[in-house]
Amino acid sequence: MQHGSPYGIHRVIEPHGVLPQGAWKIDNTMEICDNEILINVSALNIDAASFTQIKKEAGGDLGKIEATIRSIVAQRGKHHNPVTGSGGMLIGSVAQIGPILAGKIDLKVGDKIATLVSLSLTPLRIDAVQAIHVDRDQVEIAGQAILFETGLYAKLPSDIPEKLALAILDVAGAPAQTARLVKPGDTVVVIGGGGKSGTLCVYEARKQAGPAGCVIGVSPFEKDCERMRKLGWVNHALQVDATNALAMMEAVSAVTGGRLADVVINCVNIQNTEMGSILATRDGGKIYFFSMATSFTAAALGAEGVGKDVEMIVGNGYAKGHAELSLNLLRESATLRQLFEELYV
């Protein structure tokens, strides 16, 4: 049994000298090295930006969606959407643990886990696609995957259904980063506040901002705005298309007396919302781009172009303790849990 790089560099086929995430193609042979973990995969949670692009390209046809997903994995050895550059994550059970890792980690064969690293760097083999859930970006499969020595994972909890845990853990970084960024009394705008990650961020922002704070949810869809109002965690639900930067600025300005937002959390899965986020933020404020549809070139040059001195944060999907924090949101709020069970179970 060979010894592999802790970062999986030994799996890179092309180009040489890069890590697995940045590689065009990696080796998805399912014979593990002595410091890798083999997983029997049961479901993929495709990144929202990636799944939206795949659905659009396939015209919603399930056969074409399956063919696209299979083609990506066959070409690249991983699910790394060449258009969006994003992946997703998976759940499955531990099939084999390399001898170097055995005893050093809190896993045993048969444990059910969710990977907390992107599919865009995870060696993956799909043997069969069993179901595609277009309404929740999930694909049930039979297949296998490899987790590297440095790969993050979470054991699936016994008190939360697997599909629900998969949906939550896929976006766990968003509410965890919201908890870090939002302070008592802040005005917070959550763009995409009616979606999966957005709803979690709205809830967490409400907790952190407190009664003196103001939480504003944004969505172009009336049904999302109505749901945000009914849930009761937002002070304002604005029906605005975030790709219209001036409309965003005017709507947020109107409900904040011209002050704009201290913190903007961008959770949308479409392009061209960078300027809407920037113009909705006060000078000296912060923007967290959780969306993988973000162009960081457009964000950086756009802020410069309008003279906005704002701190812009790349949407790192990992924050220490993010898995437990996000799952605990479901445990502490019966309303939040009921909503997500209706959507994802």
Cβ within 8 Å of residue 231, ≥6 positions away: 199, 202, 335, 339
Residues 161 and 255 reside in one and the same domain: no
Residue 4 lies in a domain: no
CATH number of the domain within which 183 lies: 3.40.50.720
CA dihedral (223, 226, 228, 234) in degrees, to 10, reads 140
Residues 279 and 133 reside in one and the same domain: no
Tell me what pLDDT residue 227 has.
96
Residues 142 and 181 reside in one and the same domain: no
Q: Which amino acid is at 259?
A: R
Tell me what pLDDT residue 121 has.
97
Peptide bond into 15 cis (omega under 30): yes
Residues 179 and 321 reside in one and the same domain: yes
Element (H, E) at 79: none
pTM for this structure? 0.86
* pLDDT tens sequence across 121-165: 999 999 999 999 998 899 999 999 999 999 999 999 999 999 899
Residues 165 and 183 reside in one and the same domain: no
Cβ within 8 Å of residue 304, ≥6 positions away: none
Distance spanning both ends of the chain, measured CA to CA: 40
Residue 3 lies in a domain: no
Residues 181 and 330 reside in one and the same domain: yes
Residues 128 and 272 reside in one and the same domain: no
Q: Is the pLDDT of residue 343 over 90?
A: no
* pLDDT tens sequence across 188-199: 999 999 999 999
Residues 256 and 187 reside in one and the same domain: yes
Q: Which amino acid is at 3?
A: H
CA atoms within 13 A on the CB side of 251: 22
Domain closes at, from 170, 193, 214: 170
pLDDT band of residue 290 (cuts 50, 70, 90) is: very high
Q: What's the chain's average pLDDT?
A: 95
Residues 200 and 146 reside in one and the same domain: no
Average pLDDT over residues 175-204: 96
Residue 294's alpha-carbon distances to 89, 246, 297, 345, in angstroms, are 19, 18, 9, 29
Q: Is the pLDDT of residue 293 over 90?
A: no
37 and 255 Cβ atoms separated by less than 8 Å: no
Structurally, the chain folds into a number of domains equal to 2
88 and 45 Cβ atoms separated by less than 8 Å: yes
pLDDT band of residue 44 (cuts 50, 70, 90) is: very high
**Which structural domain, as residue segments, surrounds residue 333?**
173-344
Domain closes at, from 135, 170, 205: 170
pLDDT band of residue 269 (cuts 50, 70, 90) is: confident
* pLDDT tens sequence across 84-111: 999 999 999 999 999 999 989 999 999 9
Residues 50 and 165 reside in one and the same domain: yes
Pairing of strands 187-191, 214-219: parallel
Residues 119 and 193 reside in one and the same domain: no
pLDDT band of residue 289 (cuts 50, 70, 90) is: very high
Tell me what pLDDT residue 318 has.
83
